[in-house]
Amino acid sequence: MHIHILGICGTFMGGLAVLARAAGHRVTGCDTGVYPPMSTQLEAQDIALIEGWDRSQLDLKPDLFVIGNVVSRGNPLMEAILDAGLPYVSGPQWLADHVLIDKTVLAVAGTHGKTTTTSMLAWILEQAALLPGFLIGGVPGGFGISARLTDTPWFVIEADEYDTAFFDKRSKFVHYRPRVAVLNNLEYDHADIFPDLAAIETQFHHLVRTVPSTGLLVVNGESEALARVVAQGCWTPVERFGNDVDWMVRVAGDDSGSTFEVLHDGEVVGRIEWPLQGAHNRANALAALIAARYAGVSIEQSCEALSRFEGVKRRMEVRGTIDGVTVYDDFAHHPTAIATTISGLRQRLVAEGGASRIVAVIEPRSNTMKLGTMRDALPVSLAEADRVFGYGAKEGRDALDWSLAKTLAPLNEGISGEDRSKQGSKAAVFEDLEQLIAAIVVVAQPGDHVVVMSNGGFGGIHEKLLAALQLRAARKAAAS
């Protein structure tokens, strides 16, 4: 079968393309605004990519068009497909019909931590020699690719609550029919399609309704929203993780949290030592090993595997250290995720005994953030950072309809004129990327940790910032 994928460069659709090719299908696709890691993954798979939505793509005469949720009515190619009466289907539906149909699916859902937890679960099963297939919204270390098809019955998938397609407004995850569903957490997000938290809870309950009675729900026991979801009706065994529930963690060793014990019903059943930081990652690990246990992997095996887990690209990924300044790339874009990222790094730095500064660089790029729905929570989420730089594009599809500068202004309250003259304002906002980078370079000191947070490419800021720091270091060396 020849399939042509509209919106092929999204993390989900790009992964679907890899799976389709591995299944023996001919795959082509189109999109706009391409950036790594998906663009490089498609290139490596030798999947033909067409820029844009020109109607002439009908001349490819594929057997089926697979439609991503980036496509809406008015899209020239989509309108041509509809006018010609050609066959089309959503990405999640195609995946369900052609890949998941004969698999034991383990799905990871939640507002935060889906990619990391899914990667952990796939890694555990891999280390247990179960050789799972997977589709993940990121590139996990140890695999080097976001999607894989295998001959085993196991398939691990990141279960997104975003809508399926313009013609199917259900959440993607209702198509997956998992045997195991991890419900990591639930907060309000995706303000462009959900009017309130209750609407998202309804979609999560649709997912719960698809899990068989012989399956398993792994639920964050600290989430009131998830408690409401389960209370709507549940026909599946539930195991909860968090505080004062079935499964818990207890930090051992120093306060960094890099070593912790796994407790089940109050008894220590495992111990993990790893380089990851933050309570959120310990919770992610707990969810992953509970799900893996359903697949027959012992807690001891899971703990051993997670001790070797390398993390995920764009999740506190170190992009380089120049002149003593370490630059990270992180996918955080929701205020809760931003606060969690900064808090986890702060915890690690304090445990290491250093007084290193955290420089937070944010691009409010998600649809929810661009609408301004979460803007009032931003100052609080960034409070633990020592310096904050914001990027608010003045024009283009990522332009904001609200003032980022005014939103972050409270971070500068209480800074005296004398302190401000010495060190500048705590928060500064720029509309020009080059000016933003120049300002960061002026402020950054040896020992600083610069955390760049965005769910997009951010104009290649990481490479540009590292290059600017390298130039600064060269100039300092020449002057000495």
pLDDT in tens, 294-306: 999 999 999 999 9
Mapping DSSP onto H, E and C, the string for 241-265 reads ECCCCCEEEEEECCCCCCEEEEEEC
Average pLDDT over residues 355-362: 90
Given a cut of 70, whether residue 35 has pLDDT beyond it is no
pLDDT tens readout for residues 294-338: 999 999 999 999 998 877 667 778 888 998 899 988 877 778 888
pLDDT value at residue 256: 59
* CATH class for the domain made up of 317-479: alpha beta
Mean pLDDT of the chain: 88
pLDDT value at residue 4: 97
Q: Where in the chain is the domain with CATH 3.40.1190.10?
A: 99-306
Q: Where in the chain is the domain with CATH 3.90.190.20?
A: 317-479
Angle formed at CA 130 by CA 124 and CA 135, multiple of 5 degrees: 70
pLDDT tens readout for residues 461-473: 889 999 989 988 8
pLDDT value at residue 412: 87
3-state secondary structure of 94: helix
Q: How far apart, in Å, are the Cα atoms of 475 and each of 165, 203, 471? A: 52, 56, 6
CATH fold of the domain at 2-91: Rossmann fold (3.40.50)
Q: How far apart, in Å, are the Cα atoms of 168 and each of 71, 81, 178, 200, 444? A: 12, 17, 19, 15, 47
Q: Which two tokens stand for residue 265?
A: 């019903």
**Cis ω before 37 (30° cut-off from 0):** yes
- How far apart, in whole angstroms, are the C-alpha atoms of residue 186 and residue 312? 21
3-state secondary structure of 274: coil
For 285, the enclosing helix (H) or strand (E) is: helix 279-294
- How far apart, in whole angstroms, are the C-alpha atoms of residue 173 and residue 181? 10
pLDDT value at residue 278: 79
pLDDT value at residue 422: 42
* Among candidate residues 161, 159, 160, 103, the one with its CA nearest the CA of residue 133: 103
Residue 461: partners with Cβ closer than 8 Å, 6 or more residues away? 361, 391, 433, 436, 437, 452
pLDDT value at residue 233: 96
pLDDT tens readout for residues 55-105: 999 999 999 999 999 999 999 999 999 999 999 999 999 999 999 999 999
Greater confidence (402 vs 298) lies with 298
Q: 365 near 333, Cβ under 8 Å? A: yes
pLDDT tens readout for residues 188-203: 877 777 889 999 999 9
Q: 249 near 282, Cβ under 8 Å? A: yes
- How far apart, in whole angstroms, are the C-alpha atoms of residue 41 and residue 147? 10
Q: Where in the chain is the domain with CATH 3.40.50.720?
A: 2-91
Exposure b/e, 340-363, CB count within 10 A at least 16 = b: bbbbbbbbbbebeeeebbbbbbbb
3-state secondary structure of 362: strand
* Among candidate residues 285, 284, 290, 287, the one with its CA nearest the CA of residue 272: 285
Which of the listed CATH numbers 2.40.50.140, 3.40.630.30, 3.40.50.1100, 3.40.1190.10 matches domain 99-306? Answer: 3.40.1190.10
- How far apart, in whole angstroms, are the C-alpha atoms of residue 251 and residue 110? 24
Helix, strand, coil in percent for the chain, rounding step 5:
40, 25, 40
